[in-house]
Structures are given as structure tokens and as C-alpha cells.
């Protein structure tokens, strides 16, 4: 199977650091993964007494990342009759043979205690009138195992509790409005620090450097690669691009999950789009076409609660057959009282956009939602770069495979951040000086972002084929060959987007099969004989090399 290669910047063009500071550990990102790592590293009664100062850097405000937008909840085997084994089976089936079985076992075994710890920290989940934790069901799950808060405001409640806990620890410093640019590496290629661009933070404005002994990436996903996404504006693949430039491996970028039920706002709507949580279907809503026919009937045994890739493909097929830009979600039978109590946020959002789901159908279409691939890690979050760890959506722990099971994302960040915090103190590197960096720099004009998104949406979106992917690769090469005259946030973000987009398109071109969230029109069948394995991207001498690495399929059970 041929490998692919493309040129990308080895580091970002940026001014020399105008300020410096020090911290034992820098955590990039302030969602559930980043803040859990910070708190666990600082736990006085835990294994991390060796950790002194922890610095959390976040691209916007501390509560502005993807976690706060998580509506459905967090999955764990917490209910009567449920077991980690059953949770594992559902995870493996959704992952379509590309999961790492050991990572799945870690997730489901450690998940329940991790959620209980989150509750003890102060996160207030919903309970029934008898005081029992309220659990519901989402696509791909065969049990009610989704814990939620505020009906459909789970992420916001988790974020609130974690932020409050971080503010209580004086040894956790937070720098807001900070974009991580590149790692500083020592002579042995290990972490010696990280450069940042900070806006509006007083003495630390502009480009600076933080000297540190370890960096934990928890910077989220790449949703802004596409024109429509459920991700916030900060999700521009910065952590993945930074890791690639530093020598880490990116794994399985082709497995981008498109959420099947994103509210359709019209053909010209771009950026972050309103998510209609899978939990709405978990409570009985169903998908219909213009004629009122049930879309998922006969498609899958779980019908409207099938795994997300199955539902997204069914919607897209019906859209193509009918020439319509969207389908419909029917939740009218739930009634206003239920909507108000269970889904107050979604109800308000729909009404804000002129649709009352109590009396009207909700227009929905698939949109980019989650990156199942990312920076390759082991079971303790270690990457190829000494001193660099990754957790949450930026990482590829092996849990999600080709298609993330609903509500496993918050759990993954929680579980694997705890594991990083358990091993990192004993592995903390000695202080080292950054080596002179002679790698060539590069920067793409920031105003090319919209063009890039249009290329990715039209040619590397839900439906893919060889012709479109080849055109996308050529378009991305052309965009990437242009040089920015202005060094600013827009240019840094666009350069990161080009870097990740190119690797994603090449991986999608290489994988000649349909598996999970990767849908090739020209190769419609899953092919374990040729494609049971992973596609990895590494940067060597300014060239991103994309290659396939075989591994056994893992959806037949756990060994």
C-alpha cells in the first residue's frame, strides 16, 4: 500500500519570545481533560507530591472550550444490572474494529470510579425523586448509562465544578487567551518548554516562553477544519499540529465523526452550529424525511439509536436520494413539560432560531463533531516526544476506533488524565535548556481559512471518493504554498488547519474502505483483510509522511 508525503512547516513563524516564566508542568487546554490533569497532579493525598507549580494555558477564557457544550452526558456502568463488560462491547462495536482493546478496558473499568470522584468534587448530576442517579440512553448503548446534569447542560456543570476546584488551589496558575505555538525541545528532543502568544494579560502580552519539565496537551479537536461543526471557534487543531511539528505521531485522522443531528440553519451558515443531542433520540425522538417516512426503520436493529456513523450515513443517503439539504427530527410527542425539564438548553436554542420543537419538526443534517484520531499515546498518555503527554480529544488513546460511542468523550478525558497524573510525577524530566532551533519556519495567510474549510467540507466531508480527495490534496498544497505577510493569530490558526487538513486528506485517500465514520463511496465495504490497522502521520525533515500500520480488528470482543 503506497504511503503519501507532503511538505508542512517544521515550526510556526513567530517573533522571538518577549517574556519568560517557569512551571513544572504546563497543561494546554482547560476542558475536562486539562483541568482533571491539573487537579490530580496537585492532589495532596495522591501520588503527585513531587509536582510544584502547574500552569494551565487556555486559548480563550477558562470555561470556553468544548466541554461546556457537551449536552448528552458522560457514559459509565453506574446503573443496576450494567457492567463494564457490556459498556466495552458497545464501545467496540461502535469503533468498527479499530479500537485498542486494552484502552477500552481501561476506560470502562476505571470510568465508574472516575465519575464518582467527579461527583465528590462537586459536579451536581441529575437524580430521580428517590435520590438515585438519573441515567439515560444514547445511540449505540444497550443500557441506560448516561449520567447528565441540568437536563442537557452536563458539560457546563462539569466545567463549573472543575473551574471552581482549580481556583481553590493557589499552585495552579491559569493564563487565559493564550495560543500554544510550538514546543521548545532540548538537545535530546525532549520537552524543555513551550512558546505562547497571549492577548490581554498585562505583562505577559505577546509571544513568550514557558520553561517546564513536561507538557500535557488537552487542547481539544479540529472541528474548524470544516465549514459547519459543533465545535467552538477555538477548535483549530492547534495541539495536534504542535505535536506533529515536535516529532509526535498523529494516528487515524481520517476517522472524523459527523454528528447526525445538527440543526440546519441554511446553506450559508458556517462555523459552530447548534447540536441536537443524541439524548433527544434516546428519549424517543425519531428521524423522518419530507414525506414523514421513518429514516432508520429497517436500517439497524437499534433504529434511531444506532451508532452515529450509521445514522449519519442514513441521513446523507436520504438527502442525496431526495435532493434535500436536510432531514427532520420529530420530537413533538415529548411535550412541552418534558422538553422544559429534560432539554431546556436545546429548547431555547431551537426557539432562538425560529423552530419550536414542541410543535414543529427540527431540520437536521450531519456536521463535523468529533475527532476520533489525534496524537498517538499509550495507556498513560505518553507520546513519542519525551515529556509530552496528550489526553482528551487531541489524543488518540485507541478508545474510539473508527467511530466514538456517544458520551464516551467526557469519560475518556476524565480517565486518561487521571492516568497521566498517576505516572507523570515519577517521570518528571530534569530541567533542561532549549536547544537552538534551526528548523525552517512557515506561515499561511489567515484569510485563506474560509477557502480551506470549503475544500474540506466539499471533498473530505461525510462522503469521500478518490477523485475528490485527490483534488482536495492539490488544493491544500496550493493553499499551503502561500506565505503570510502578516504574523497574527489568524495566520497561526490557519497554518495549523492546513497542516491537519493535509494529513487528514492523505489518510482518507490511503484508507480504501468504508469503516465507521470514514465513508468511501468508491470502496463501500469494510475490508479487514487489507485495512485492519492504523494510519499514522509523522514529520521528517519538513515532510509529513502518512503510512498504514496493520493491527488486528478488535470488535469481536475483549481478550
Active site residues: 308
Pairing of strands 228-229, 271-272: parallel
Q: How far is CA 59 from CA 31, 169, 523, in A?
A: 11, 21, 39
At residue 150, the 3 state secondary structure works out as: coil
Helix (H) or strand (E) holding 366: strand 362-371
Say how far apart CA 493 and CA 231 lie, in whole Å.
15
d(CA 153, CA 12): 37
Torsion of the alpha carbons at 82, 86, 90 and 93, rounded to the nearest 10: -170
When computed from its CA atoms, the radius of gyration of the chain, rounded to whole angstroms, is 22
The overall longest dimension of the chain from CA atoms, in Å, is 67
Separation CA 294–CA 410 (nearest Å)? 31
Phi, psi (degrees; rounded to nearest 5) at 526? -75, 140
Note the helical H segments in 333-436.
Answer: 336-342, 344-352, 408-427
Q: In sequence order, what are the residues at sequence separation of 6 or more whose Cβ sits closer than 8 angstroms to the Cβ of residue 70?
A: 154, 155, 158, 409, 410
Side-chain-facing half-sphere of 94: CA atoms under 13 Å = 30
Q: Residue 202: which residues within 8 A CB-CB, separation 6 or more?
A: none
Of 413, 418, 518, 428, the C-alpha closest to 465 is 518
In Å, how far are 331, 334, 364, 506, 512 from 73, measured between CA atoms? Answer: 19, 19, 20, 33, 34
Pick left, alpha or beta for residue 298 (phi over 0 → left; psi -120 to 50 → alpha; otherwise beta): left
CA angle 434, 65, 43 (to 5 degrees): 65
- Output the nine-digit C-alpha cell for 266: 441554511
CB 356 within 8 A of CB 350: yes
Start-to-end CA span in the chain (Å): 29
SS (H, E, C) 511-559: CCCCECCECECCCCCCCHHHHCEEEEEEEECCEEEEEEEECCCCCCCCC
CB count within 10 Å of CB 5 equals 12
Amino acid at each position: 500500500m503506497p504511503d503519501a508525503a507532503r511538505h508542512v512547516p517544521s515550526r510556526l513563524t513567530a517573533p522571538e519570545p518577549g517574556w519568560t516564566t517557569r512551571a513544572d508542568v504546563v497543561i494546554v487546554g482547560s476542558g475536562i481533560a486539562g483541568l482533571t490533569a491539573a487537579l490530580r497532579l496537585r492532589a495532596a493525598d495522591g501520588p503527585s507530591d513531587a509536582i510544584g507549580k502547574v500552569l494551565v494555558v487556555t486559548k480563550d477564557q477558562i470555561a470556553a472550550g468544548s466541554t461546556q457544550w457537551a449536552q448528552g452526558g458522560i457514559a459509565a456502568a453506574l446503573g443496576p444490572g450494567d457492567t463494564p463488560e457490556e459498556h466495552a462491547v458497545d464501545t467496540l462495536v461502535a469503533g468498527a474494529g479499530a479500537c485498542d482493546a486494552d484502552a477500552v478496558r481501561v476506560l470502562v473499568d476505571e470510568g465508574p470510579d472516575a465519575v464518582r470522584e467527579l461527583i465528590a468534587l462537586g459536579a451536581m448530576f441529575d437524580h430521580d425523586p428517590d435520590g438515585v442517579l438519573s441515567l439515560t440512553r444514547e445511540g449505540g448503548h444497550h443500557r441506560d448509562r448516561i449520567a447528565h446534569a441540568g437536563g442537557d447542560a452536563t458539560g457546563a456543570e462539569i466545567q463549573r465544578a472543575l473551574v471552581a476546584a482549580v481556583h481553590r488551589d493557589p499552585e495552579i496558575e491559569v493564563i487565559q487567551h493564550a495560543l500554544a505555538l510550538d514546543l521548545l525541545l532540548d538537545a535530546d528532543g525532549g520537552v524543555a518548554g513551550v512558546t505562547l502568544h497571549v492577548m490581554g494579560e498585562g505583562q505577559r502580552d505577546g509571544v513568550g516562553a514557558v520553561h517546564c519539565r513536561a507538557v500535557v496537551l488537552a487542547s481539544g479537536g479540529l472541528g474548524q477544519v470544516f465549514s459547519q461543526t459543533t465545535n467552538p471557534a477555538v477548535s483549530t487543531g492547534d495541539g495536534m499540529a504542535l505535536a506533529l511539528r515536535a516529532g509526535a505521531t498523529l494516528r487515524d485522522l481520517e476517522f472524523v465523526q459527523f454528528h447526525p443531528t445538527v440543526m440546519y440553519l441554511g446553506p450559508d451558515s458556517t462555523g459552530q452550529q447548534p447540536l441536537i443531542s443524541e439524548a433527544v433520540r434516546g428519549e424517543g425522538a425519531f428521524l423522518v424525511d419530507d414525506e414523514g417516512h421513518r429514516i432508520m426503520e429497517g436500517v439497524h436493529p437499534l433504529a434511531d439509536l444506532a451508532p452515529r456513523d450509521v445514522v449519519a450515513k442514513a441521513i446523507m443517503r436520504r438527502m442525496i436520494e431526495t435532493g434535500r439539504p436536510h432531514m427532520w427530527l420529530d420530537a413533538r410527542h415529548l411535550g412541552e413539560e418534558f422538553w422544559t425539564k429534560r432539554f431546556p438548553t436545546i429548547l431555547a436554542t431551537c426557539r432562538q432560531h425560529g423552530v419550536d420543537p414542541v410543535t414543529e419538526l427540527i431540520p437536521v443534517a450531519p456536521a463535523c463533531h468529533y475527532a476520533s484520531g489525534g496524537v498517538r499515546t499509550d495507556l498513560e498518555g505518553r507520546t513519542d516526544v519525551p515529556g509530552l503527554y496528550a489526553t482528551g480529544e487531541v489524543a488518540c488513546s485507541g478508545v474510539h476506533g473508527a467511530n466514538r460511542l456517544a458520551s464516551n468523550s467526557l469519560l475518556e478525558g476524565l480517565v486518561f488524565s487521571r492516568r497521566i497524573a498517576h505516572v507523570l510525577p515519577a517521570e518528571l524530566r530534569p530541567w533542561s535548556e532549549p536547544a537552538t532551533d534551526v528548523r525552517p519556519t512557515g506561515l499561511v495567510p489567515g484569510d485563506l481559512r474560509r477557502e480551506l474549510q470549503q475544500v474540506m467540507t466539499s471533498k473530505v466531508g461525510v462522503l469521500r471518493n478518490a477523485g475528490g480527495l485527490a483534488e482536495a490534496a492539490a488544493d491544500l498544497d496550493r493553499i499551503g504554498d502561500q506565505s503570510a505577510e502578516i504574523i497574527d493569530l489568524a495566520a497561526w490558526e490557519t497554518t495549523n488547519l492546513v497542516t491537519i487538513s493535509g494529513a487528514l486528506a492523505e489518510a482518507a485517500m490511503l484508507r480504501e474502505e468504508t469503516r465507521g465514520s470514514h465513508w468511501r463511496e468508491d470502496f463501500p465495504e469494510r475490508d479487514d483483510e487489507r485495512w485492519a490497522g492504523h494510519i499514522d502521520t509523522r514529520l521528517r525533515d519538513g515532510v509529513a509522511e502518512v503510512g498504514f500500520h496493520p493491527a488486528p480488528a478488535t470488535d469481536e470482543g475483549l481478550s
